[in-house]
Structure formats: structure tokens, C-alpha cells
Amino acid sequence: MAAVMVAFTVTVSAAGNLCAGGMPFGVRFQTDGVIVAGLEDVATDKGGVCPAKDAGIKAGDLITAANGKKVSSADEIVGLISGCGGKEIRLTYRRGGEEKTARLTPVADKKGAFRAGMWVRDSAAGIGTVTFYDPDTGEFAGLGHGICDSESGELIPLVTGRVTDVSLFGIERGVAGTPGELKGYFGSKIIGNICKNSVTGVYGTLSKLPAGGEAIEIATRGEIKAGEAVIRCTLADGDMRDYSAVISEINRRSRDNKSFIITVTDPALIERTGGIVQGMSGSPIIQDGRLVGAVTHVMINDPSRGYGIFIENMIENMPARMAA
């Protein structure tokens, strides 16, 4: 089915159309190119060598073409390397937004198979929390930060993405030095699409809206105040609840995903999770009945504290949406 681009219309002044989230979701998407996930030496008859490293390739690089032809899957790269016969392969890749070229010469391992000494992947997946959605259009935002490569920290470029249902089954409690995590598994139902992965969150459209959502007023960055608030999230029991917290150290100039500090004060949440854990990213932060932001990061040395993003930052970065 053909798709056309139309402007996304939600603004802070139209906040009455938005509903606060708090429910978990799964995201799977295909990358725009092939990501170098890691490097390793190839065991050859002459010892260990890493052709990819020798060619200047690093973990986190995004390979976009090989021998002048666009590549979109890991299988394409693997097949090209294994069938190269030891001949040089010209790779085009991006690093930090800059396009580069490498001349890669694979080597034969001890079994005679040609290898380059790099692991590649063409997809990414994760679990997060919906921050808000528009019940009229189905557009939503979640996570409050982008999905990044674990090695380079760079945003993973998106081609297509799908939202799936998620079932949470456990909690790995966070302690100082070790982040906790909500444990869950992806369901089989596709409940939406992802159209953007950015520093302020992931954005898309839900085909199945959460039940019981109510419109909520939005607070601008200038209206947020230091003091009591609540974090709305869903834990392993599947029950969405509000947990007490405190907002502090507000940076009103922030345009990224670290706009203020959020400290969990709710004894029940601290007992169960230790505070903020992975999977809670995107959990709405509500103050005086208004949506002010979302949880984005946990502080490694104190899991009761983390960062929040202004909800205004997320709304301002909503992309143009796809409409069938």
C-alpha cells in the first residue's frame, strides 16, 4: 500500500488530545545498513589476524555499501565475504555521521573459509514504556531516549520498525554499580509501527490503543517545578501504578533527554526494583495532574535516582507521520 507524508499536528497547546502511557511495549526494527557489532581475530595457519581492524573498521560502524552496491542485510555481507576468494572488498560505511571507505581483504581461516574478523547485524530490539499517545490518530512516543548501539553509543539508524505486545515476568533489582531490568518477552502480535528513532525517544503509530486512556494536560518546561511528582509504570504483575518521586535540578535550557533529576521515594517501588531499572525508560512523570516528562536514565551508583526529559522536548521532536 502506498504511503504519503503528512504533518504531525500535536503541539503543546493541543495537549488535550494526549493520553499518558505507562504500559510496556516491544520494538523491533531493521537498520539502514549493516552494523558492525564487534571485531575478533581470525585464527589462520599463520596466527590470529583481523582484516576488518586492519582496514580501519571499528565496532559501531554502519556499512552501507560493498563494491559500490547498497547492502541492507547481514546475510549480504556474510555471503560476499565467504565467496570473495580472498579478493579485496571495497566497503562504504558511516561513523559519527561521516561517510568513509575501507578496503577489506578477508583471509582464510584454518578450515579454508574466508572471514573478515567482524560480527555484523541488521536489526535491533528492546523493551520500553509508552510515554504518551494520541487517541485520535494513534501516534505515540516512548522511551524518552533513542535506541543506541551498545559499543559506539550512536543512534541505530532505522529503516522499518514494528511495535509488539510484551509480557513482563520478572524484575532484576538494581543495586549500586549494576542497573536492574524488567524481564519480559515479546508477544506475537504486531500492535504498531515505528517511524523514528531519536535522542528524545522512539515515535510511531499504534494500531491497537491501550484501554481506558484519559486525556491529560501538558506542562511546559517553564511550568515544571522542583518537588513531588509520580512515575507511572508497569511492573511484572502487569498492573500499571503511580509511584511517588521528587523532581530536582531542573535545567530549563535542556533540549535533550537529561532535563532534570528524578528521585524515587516510593517504598514499594524501591523494595521491588531498587528504584529505576531498564525497561522503565519512557515511564510518564506526572506532577499536579499534568504530564511533565518521562524517565530516561538511571544513575549507575544510585538506582533510586535518574534523569527525566521534558515532555515538551518529546513533543517538539515528533516526526511527520506515515498515513496509508
Q: Which of 230, 202, 217 is nearest to 131 (CA)?
A: 202
Question: Is 297 one of the catalytic residues?
Answer: no
Q: Which of 61, 122, 134, 266 is catalytic?
A: 266
DSSP string, 66-95: ETTEE---HHHHHHHHHTSTT--EEEEEEE
Q: Which of 198, 259, 281, 283 is catalytic?
A: 281
Instruction: Provide the grid cell at 210.
Output: 491501550
What whole-number distance in Å separates Cα of residue 235 and Cα of residue 279? 9
- Nearest-Å Rg of the Cα atoms of the chain is 22
User: For residues 317 and 200, is the Cβ–Cβ distance under 8 A?
Assistant: yes
Question: Is 207 one of the catalytic residues?
Answer: no
Phi, psi angles (nearest 5°) of residue 80: -65, -40
Output helix, strand, coil percentages for the chain, rounded to the nearest 5.
10, 50, 40
- Helix/strand/coil for 28: strand
User: For residues 10 and 18, is the Cβ–Cβ distance under 8 A?
Assistant: yes
Question: Is 281 one of the catalytic residues?
Answer: yes
Cα separations (Å) of 235 from 3, 132, 166, 272, 309? 36, 18, 12, 9, 21
Q: Which of 61, 122, 134, 145 is catalytic?
A: 145
Q: Which residues are catalytic?
A: 145, 266, 281
